[in-house]
Structure 1
Amino acid sequence: MRIENSFIPVEGVGETTERRLWRSGVTTWGDFEPGVDVSGVGTATADRIGSFIAEALERLDDGDAAYFDRAFPSQERWRLYENFRSKTCFFDIETTGLDEHRDRVTTVSFHRDGETTTLVAGEDLTAEAVAAQFRDASLLATFNGARFDVPFLETSLDIEVDTPHLDLMYPAKRIGLSGGLKPIEKQLGIERDRPDISGRDAVRLWREYERGDADALDTLVSYNREDAENLRALADVVCASLHEDVFVDEPAER
């Protein structure tokens, strides 16, 4: 689904009214006309829809993902993905534990446009380097990042992550994919080059690296990179599935 299919940012337009618009043939902003005869869309609502479309077209032309992030209900943020896919930064972190106030970030991998970059603590993992990775991104994508990755980065590196953020864990649940990232990958047939490694293994590998085992760092980085890269495949599947579940592209029979 593209942003241009959506009307729910408009005050007075919920999911039910949006589906009525779609079923009446108004499936994109370009289909909308002020006098459209749709149940639940009175003159005032139609005026608000027209005003929204006028501003939204300009914002979309400017690539202003933050505007749409504010406009859409949080549970519908997945609708931004198709428009901003090429400027989405998929990222994942590894840490020494689960407490962002006590533990440290050890590696962070970023995947965008087919390229993956990994920053390592003690080498090149700095607040400036992370900010540089996010700077040109219109959308961030993680799995459970709203509760873990983002707060950990903000606390550990004393930064503010304010780029629009799609946490794939929540839309995945909407299509029946629950549990951790690895079980979901297996359900979807998303393969990994390395054997499965747990979060506990990631902590162990970092400790071994600190004791001088360079191979342990190689394994940890490879694991972290696959986490970030596989988020792209997960986002494609989840957003395509939600499109099929939500969007009505055929007018109802009269």
Structure 2
Amino acid sequence: MLRHTFCHIPGIGFATEKKLWNCGVTDWHKWKDPVPVKVPASTRHDAAIILDQSLTALDRNNPSFFTSRLASSESWRIFSLFRNSTAYLDIETTGLDEAAEITTIALYDGNTVFTYVNGINLDRFVDDIYNYSVIVSYNGKSFDIPFIENYFRISLDHAQIDLRYVLAKLGFKGGLKGCEKMVGMNRGNLAGVDGYFAVLLWREYLRNNDRRVLDTLLAYNIEDTVNLERLAVEAYNRNVQMTPFGADLALTCPPSPPNPYVADNDIIALLKRTSAQNRGW
């Protein structure tokens, strides 16, 4: 889809982009001057330069060139071409305040699940994340990425596909779990477990050093992460179906990988009761 994209050029919006497609300007190589639709003079001047830069960015595996020019809700357009260098990412923390710490991180690259645990191997994440050029998250722009950058004192210059914005434009709502339900995804015994529950799990793990508790937390963190791939494919396919290229560009959604950690039902039941009491339910 990215090669059919023109709305990353200043002065070209979605309506103009559709007019270009209708006039036969369906990819970057078909751009011509004079342009067959009305665009600002500055756009006519800059478009050829930006399209040439776009080709260079593709050759150099530089997706940030495009996401820096696209609206957050349009970042899905880079997905298929940069999928092999994409990391799906989610973090768990001790809270939201400035003193909060990262407890676990789950990273999935479409083939392998990686986990990082505070006090065990958390620092290894910093090296691993730079193996990728795109980060897919849900609300990562507002939470996960700034939290990671502040916590590790690093800067992540990756292109970002924040599904919160992409899915919202498609009419999805209810947070990550709500979006999953809208496409028929089922979390099994992790249904009803949320971020606050993850905080309780970490506290319980620190108190008792019970490996079952940590495994339950990691199972939840991984579920948040691997589900992002299916949602990203779903969002991509729904968007391309609204273009003239949908039949050729639709992606097949791969099966989710097996979760390497097992959530303990007894621990979930116990902490659900604790969570309900703390929240006054």
TM, length-normalised to structure 2: 0.81
Structure 1 residue 175, shift from structure 2 partner: 0.8
Aligned-residue Cα RMSD (Å) equals: 1.9
Change (3 A) 1:42 1:144: closer
Separation in structure 2 between the aligned mates of residue 51 and residue 58 of structure 1, nearest angstrom: 11
**Which of residues 50, 73, 76 in structure 2 aligns to 1:75?**
73
My pick for the range that moved more, 106-115 or 149-158, is: 149-158
Gaps of 5+ in 2: 247-281
SS of 1:147's equivalent in the other structure is: helix
Check conservation: 1:194, 1:223, Cα contact below 8 A: no
Structure 1 residue 193, shift from structure 2 partner: 4.9
Which structure 1 residue ranges, 4+ long, deviate > 3 Å from structure 2? 41-47
Separation in structure 1 between the aligned mates of residue 10 and residue 94 of structure 2, nearest angstrom: 45
Letter in 1 for 2:6: F
Match of 1:7 in 2: 6
Structure 1 residue 249, shift from structure 2 partner: 4.5
Q: Equivalences for 1:189-208 in 2 at 5 Å?
A: 189-196=184-191, 197-208=193-204
Check conservation: 1:90, 1:111, Cα contact below 8 A: yes
Q: Deviations over 1:20-55 (max 9, x none)?
A: 10111211112223244x221477644432222222
Letter in 2 for 1:13: I
Larger RCO (CA within 8 A; separation ≥ 6): 1
Q: Deviations over 1:58-85 (max 9, x none)?
A: 2211111122222323332221112111
Letter in 1 for 2:78: L
Separation in structure 1 between the aligned mates of residue 226 and residue 72 of structure 2, nearest angstrom: 24
Seq. identity, %: 34
Letter in 1 for 2:91: I
Match of 2:87 in 1: 89
Letter in 1 for 2:222: R
**Which of residues 136, 144, 153 in structure 2 aligns to 1:149?**
144
Q: Deviations over 1:191-218 (max 9, x none)?
A: 3354221222211111111122110001
Separation in structure 2 between the aligned mates of residue 216 and residue 49 of structure 1, nearest angstrom: 55
Number of aligned positions between the proteins: 244
